[in-house]
Structure 1
Amino acid sequence: MRRVTILDDYQRVALSSADWSAVAERFELEVIDEHLGADALAERLAHSEVVVVMRERTAFPAELFPRLPELKLLVTTGMMNAVIDLGAAAAHGVTVSGARGGGNSVPELTLGMMIALTRHFAEEDASIRAGGWQHTIGPGLQGKTLGVLGLGRLGGPVADLARAFGMHVIAWDRSITRERAAQHGATLVHKRELFEESDLLTIHLPLTESSRGLVGARELAVMKPTAYLINTSRGPIVDESALLAALAERRIAGAALDVYETEPLPRDHPLRSAPNTLLLPHLGYVTTDQYAHFYADVVEDIVAWDDGSPVRLL
């Protein structure tokens, strides 16, 4: 029977997040809940006609497509995916479609991470479970300066939420005007000022050639020793080696990360033992609401493609 394979269903919720009956009538459904390396991936997908990927958890580079002779449709959640080689897909006759999300859960996660990091939620939770009581102290957000690196679809709402907490918001973005920044109550500043003046600095840029490594040793060096860095965007925007050095030498107060250069984060990665960090496993888009929207669209895309109807092409 023809096969649809759903990749990287870490929480084992793909099939319960949408009604797959229309797909199940036509295809065998296979769900993989672990992240696979290139060789294992090619082996497992050798007989799959349709593959569903969750955002950018699994890359589909050019060299993978020749190893997938049965693949005809690749569906990704989200309407863009930087780790799929679209040219190679087209060259091998593979249609690539996308699935729309619902809502915007990153801003609320960002503010939650700020509070959890500065008020040491993880440490205090571990302490109280071990029989302890108050042993840390951290700043409140009111009156602090939040620097927003990238004031677009995600950064703008973060600025709005931050103002509700009584924060002063500054921002740097190559494509945003002072008037557009003012709509979010933010003051547009130069890039160096953003790093120098922020008490907390949050990143909300897409990963491009110009943003890769944008936050490096030079930028971290001008941050306040009491400042915190939050990244819920893409790992490679921050130079991990420079960040590890800044944390080890206590040149910044801490970092909250939801994204990494390599995902899943390797078991022996030094960030796992870095001081003053809050580490989350790329949860920015991981909500029941978002998954319901994603997988409902995935089902529609598969059925439409199989019927010869238009699909949401990337």
Structure 2
Amino acid sequence: MLRVVLTGEYGKVFLDPVKHAVGQENAVDLWLPSEGAERMVEIAREAEVIVASAEWVLHEKRTLVKRTLQNAEKLKLILVPFSGMDWLDRAWLPAGSVVCNTNVGIDPIAEYVMLAMLQSAIPLREMDSELRAARWGWGGASVLGRKHHELQGRTIGLVGYGRIGHRVAELSKAFRMRVIAVSRNPWIDHSLDWYKGTDSLDDLLAQSDYVLLSVPGGPETQGLIGAAQLACMKADAVLINIARGSVVALLHNPWCRAASRMTFTHNSHGGAPVNFAWTCVDSRLFRARRCARTSTRRVNPRGSIASGIGRHTTPD
């Protein structure tokens, strides 16, 4: 008999689809944080599949995942319905087990990035407020008044070129933007204007009007963007961070003012960057909480998780 363990309040979303996928002859358990850590460790002993959640990851100051996996001797599959894997140490995994990220947030996060760039170039909220107040200070037929920017012809620099980076590149090209990227393992990609290794990060920062951080979290990327990197950027550049907050090392220093606009997403694991001084940046800050939560995505993860378990339980 197959045993699947769903975790956290988010696990309730998958309960019915997973039960349907595995059939009545198999067992589906739901662990809630209110049941305590020992309950999770107990039911995981017989589990072949665990569906992760932020509640499981963060429980007992991030110690429960390690305890769970060290006792889950029958575990074969961990399904992760959210972005980021820096909470998981490979050494904890039982032999022969597989970790699968469902990647259902790619499109909504990429669309958020485009929204952040468009809002930076075209201050629609300000325009709307003026119009509702019977004012209009922007250029019109007379070519007078204030002017806004355009995305076409601008350069977006992608720091990290995974699936989200790919999708942002596709959308940016539709806006006729110049797209450049750096990553740990660059390859030939003719859709980009150039693509280099991370040793070219400063060059990318210097050329970019928009910089997107979409790198994994962890020690390798902690403090990737600091004083020296911000000094490389254009004075009016926009920094968009959809990675962990720890990727940007912002402290109470004068160089904080170098980045005129910075946008940060808040996620269930990180929140605001550590030691970030919100008052040290002379700019408007977009604080997008849960930008990947859309009406479409509320449905998609259910199918992704259920089909992932279904493939695991179906004989080759």
C-alpha offsets along residues 38-72 of structure 1, whole Å, 9 cap, x if unaligned? x9862562443344214898259677544789755
**Is 1:256 equivalent to 2:256 in the alignment?**
no
Q: Deviations over 1:215-249 (max 9, x none)?
A: 1121012212211001223433222x24x7579x5
Q: Is the 8 A contact 1:221 1:251 kept in 2?
A: yes
Given the alignment of the two structures, is residue 84 of structure 1 paired with residue 84 of structure 2, yes or no? no
Instruction: Kindly provide the amino acid, as one letter, of the partner of residue 211 in structure 1.
Output: T
SS in structure 2 at match of 1:169: strand
Secondary structure in 2 aligned to 1:48? helix
Aligned residues: 287
| TM-score, length basis structure 2 | 0.67
Partner of 1:20: 19
> Aligned letter for 1:276?
R
**Comparing 23-32 and 287-296, the one that deviates more:** 23-32
More RCO (CA 8 Å, sep 6+): 1
Name the structure 2 match of 1:162. Answer: 172
Matched to 1:186, the amino acid is: D
SS of 1:76's equivalent in the other structure is strand
Q: In structure 1, which of residues 218, 237, 240 is the aligned counterpart of residue 228 of structure 2?
A: 218
Provide the alpha-carbon RMSD of the alignment: 4.6
Structure 1 residue 253: Cα displacement: 1.9
Taking a change above 3 Å as real, the CA distance of residues 64 and 209 of structure 1, as seen in their structure-2 partners, is closer
Quote the offset at 1:6 in angstroms.
2.3
| Structure 2: stretches of 5+ with no match in the other structure | 139-146
Task: From the superposition, tell whether residues 144 and 63 of structure 1 become closer, same or farther in structure 2 (CA, over 3 Å).
Answer: same
Listed as ranges, the matches of 1:164-243 within 5 Å are 164-177=174-187, 180-181=188-189, 183-188=190-195, 190-207=200-217, 209-239=219-249, 241-242=250-251
From 102, 109, 113, the equivalent of 2:112 is 109
* Alignment CA distance shift 1:174-1:19 (3 Å): closer
- How far 1:83 moved relative to its partner? 1.6
Counterpart contact for 1:159–1:186, Cα < 8 Å: no
Relative distance call for 1:81 and 1:41 in structure 2 (3 A) is farther
1:4 is matched by which residue type in structure 2? V
Asked whether the equivalents of residues 159 and 214 of structure 2 are also in contact (C-alpha less than 8 Å), the reply is yes
Q: Distance in 2 between matches of 1:201 and 1:234?
A: 15
Secondary structure of the corresponding residue to residue 155 of structure 1: helix
TM-score, scaled relative to structure 1: 0.68
User: For residues 91-119 of structure 1, what are the alpha-carbon distances to aligned partners after superposition, in whole Å with 9 as ceiling and x for unaligned?
Assistant: 8xx95543544684143332123223444
Residue 122 (structure 1) shift? 6.6
User: Which residue of structure 2 aligns with residue 5 of structure 1?
Assistant: 6
Q: Aligned in 2, Cα 1:210/1:87: closer, same or farther, shift over 3 Å?
A: closer
Give, as a single letter, the amino acid of the residue that structure 2 aligns with 1:27.
Answer: A
Deviates more, 1:70-79 or 1:189-198: 70-79
Which amino acid in structure 2 is aligned with residue 161 of structure 1?
L
Task: Return 56-65 or 154-163, whichever deviates more.
Answer: 56-65
